[in-house]
Amino acid sequence: MSPDTTAQNKSMTHFDQHQEVWLFGYGSLIFRPDFPFLARRPACITGWARRFWQGSHDHRGTLERPGRVVTLVPQAGTRCLGMAFLVTPEVFAHLDFREKNGYLRFRTPLTFDDGDTCEGLVYIATEDNAAFLGPAPEAAIARHIASAAGPSGPNSEYLLRLAEALRELGAEDEHVFAIEHHLLRASTEDVDGRGKDSVASS
């Protein structure tokens, strides 16, 4: 599949006649909602796990040196906590462009923090998109993120802001927090002059 999903997303017309739609955010939408919204509420979706498995060519990396950003991968029984935004369907043209590097719109059941449910929409970069990087050890993902940057800024900023936003939401996300831990530990070792080389020579 081409990584540019703009045209494919235009054919997703399911919500076009709706006045308002709940959009589930699990990544940059949580800490960078750069679109108008009518309300926001913590919510979760079930059967999906947040993973730093999607390559970013246009925000947190480049075509030559992609960054790593989150997508959702199917995982039975897993609950992914995020933020739902109530938006009008016009917002999707903006998001289709912003997230054109592999993300497609899907319908999803949503559960709000008070137990209410509804059908909403979520953007997911599936494993068949050309920018998909897939799994790697979390320490390796942290090293990758530490070295990448793109037009939207350093890849590390994306990770740290996401981890902070998830903490504020009270989300337990072992994958994101483990990568954050590796990244922060590596930067502390750099500052202290206790990098790999000095450890090896001591």
Q: Which residues are catalytic?
A: 99
Asked if 28 touches ligand BEZ (CB under 6 A), the answer is: yes
Considering only CA atoms, which of 95, 105, 3, 107 is closest in space to residue 54?
A: 3
Asked if 27 touches ligand BEZ (CB under 6 A), the answer is: yes
Q: Among residues 134 and 195, whose Cβ is nearest to ligand BEZ?
A: 134
Q: Among residues 28 and 156, whose Cβ is nearest to ligand BEZ?
A: 28
Please choose, out of 2-10, 24-32, 131-139, 189-197, the segment that lies near ligand BEZ by the rule CB under 6 A: 24-32
Q: How far apart are CA 110 and CA 91, in angstroms?
A: 19
Smallest gap from Cβ 39 to ligand BEZ, in A, equals 16
Among 99, 138, 173, 180, which residue interacts with ligand BEZ (rule: CB under 6 A)? Answer: 99
Asked if 102 touches ligand BEZ (CB under 6 A), the answer is: no
Q: How far apart are CA 22 and CA 150, in angstroms?
A: 29
Smallest gap from Cβ 163 to ligand BEZ, in A, equals 14
Asked if 29 touches ligand BEZ (CB under 6 A), the answer is: yes
3 state SS of 38: coil
Tally of CA atoms within 13 A in the half-sphere of 131 that contains its CB: 31
- The neighbour count for residue 145, using CB atoms within 10 Å, is 26
Q: How far apart are CA 58 and CA 103, in angstroms?
A: 13
Asked if 26 touches ligand BEZ (CB under 6 A), the answer is: yes
Please choose, out of 8-16, 19-27, 128-136, 179-187, the segment that lies near ligand BEZ by the rule CB under 6 A: 19-27
Asked if 103 touches ligand BEZ (CB under 6 A), the answer is: yes
Asked if 123 touches ligand BEZ (CB under 6 A), the answer is: yes
- The neighbour count for residue 98, using CB atoms within 10 Å, is 18
Considering only CA atoms, which of 87, 76, 67, 82 is closest in space to residue 156?
A: 67
Maximum Cα–Cα distance across the chain = 67
Asked if residue 124 lies in contact with residue 104, where contact means CB atoms within 8 angstroms, the answer is yes
Asked if 133 touches ligand BEZ (CB under 6 A), the answer is: no
Q: Among residues 122 and 149, whose Cβ is nearest to ligand BEZ?
A: 122
Binding residues vs ligand BEZ (CB under 6 A): 25-30, 99, 103, 123
